[in-house]
Amino acid sequence: MTEREEEILDIISKNPLIGQKELAELLGITRSSVGVHVTNLMKKGYITGRGYIVNKKPYICVVGGVNVDIQGFPYGALRPKDSNPGKAMISLGGVGRNIAENLCRMGIKTSLISTLGDDIYGKKVLEEARAIGLNMQDSLILPNEATSSYLSILDETGDMSVAISSMDIYENMTVEFIQEKKNVIENASLCIVDTNIPKEVIEYLVINHRDTDYFLDTVSTTKAMKVKDIIGYFHTIKPNKLEAQMLSGIEITGEEDIKRVLDYFLNRGVKRVFLSMGAEGVYYCDNKNYAHINSPNVKVVNATGAGDAFVAGAAYGYYNHMDINRTAVFSMAASIMALQHKNTINPNISVDNINKIVKEIEIC
């Protein structure tokens, strides 16, 4: 799709009854040029019939967090309450942004709606988005505000020991703001939400746009509680053990409890559940399948982005009409790629490279 076609489609999405003369006047081009662009959009399947009926566009929308990640890596065993020799690294992150970048690297057109400051870090986020083809034109850019940051200290195994998140800027994402993004959300093939954004915004999205399938990244045990009462509105969720226990009220002490937790979510209305059990792998289910994938032996370099890569893989599977078994294996392979690189997002992640790992994963 050309830039002009995207421009025309955006206008038509907001006003399906607009005429070609009005379009021409808005864009400052001739009516005959508008006619050519509209005909091309019809041929490509973006609009059909009279009144410009807009089809869902082949892209995924992500509504969630953007952060500057500051990570500390100790050279040896991490000693609490002490100064540890090591190295620090600054990179761009945030759950929503991480998922979106992974999707872009998997070849999927992606739109990210987030909130960031008009500061040096915010400008860097937008610059990187342009470089990887991530659409952030619908994000909220705030002057005199600091882009959110996430400071984490990893231990000698590459796992996160402690972190501090400074994310007050997300309180500026309001229901009124997200209402303006109706067409971006409703025209997407699916929408991924993370719980960094305000509770009322999440509730508004899933309750008022019922024709959109939503994927949920729970982010953390505390933030996951924002969606406890609306969990059934999500098509796909990927909680870890602690998050699943808090959301369901069921303590997990064995495999029978895992089955009870998965059934709880299905009975609430969730279509696909991927339950991350850390070293014990991933349990997953839909209304026809219940299975388990063991965690392969992997040398962990950085565990920070594994969950984000998994969610991106699950969205990729849905987008490409994979069944849940293929989706689970693909998602696990994506998370393995994330674990093996020092960056939160493995720059080598791609569908081809993920598929090289897929063959090594077995479903129990």
The number of CA neighbours under 13 Å toward the Cβ of 184 is: 22
- The answer for residues whose C-beta is within 8 angstroms of residue 210's C-beta and 6 or more apart is none
- DSSP for 43-95, please give it: HTTSEETTTTEEPPPS-EEEE---EEEEEEEESSS--TTSPPPEEEEEEEE-H
CA distances from 55 to 52, 66, 240, 242, 359 (A): 9, 29, 35, 39, 36
Per-residue confidence (pLDDT) for residue 91, from 0 to 100: 85
What domains appear along the chain, each with residue ranges and CATH number?
3-54 (1.10.10), 60-65+95-114+171-358 (3.40.1190.20)
Which residue type, as a one-letter code, is found at position 87?
A: K
| Residue-wise pLDDT tens digits, 299-340 | 888 888 999 999 999 999 999 999 999 999 999 999 999 999
Per-residue confidence (pLDDT) for residue 54, from 0 to 100: 60
Per-residue confidence (pLDDT) for residue 57, from 0 to 100: 61
Q: Is the separation of the CB atoms in 70 and 149 below 8 Å?
A: yes
- The answer for residues whose C-beta is within 8 angstroms of residue 336's C-beta and 6 or more apart is 296, 298, 306, 357
Per-residue buried b or exposed e for 183-203, using 16+ beta carbons within 10 Å of the residue's own CB: bbbbbbbbbbbbbbbbeebbb
Per-residue confidence (pLDDT) for residue 279, from 0 to 100: 85
Per-residue confidence (pLDDT) for residue 210, from 0 to 100: 85
User: The tokens 């399947």 sit on which residue?
Assistant: 45
Per-residue confidence (pLDDT) for residue 90, from 0 to 100: 86
User: Which stretches in the chain have pLDDT values below 70?
Assistant: 1, 44-45, 48-57, 364
- The answer for residues whose C-beta is within 8 angstroms of residue 84's C-beta and 6 or more apart is 72, 74, 75, 76, 78
Per-residue confidence (pLDDT) for residue 161, from 0 to 100: 92
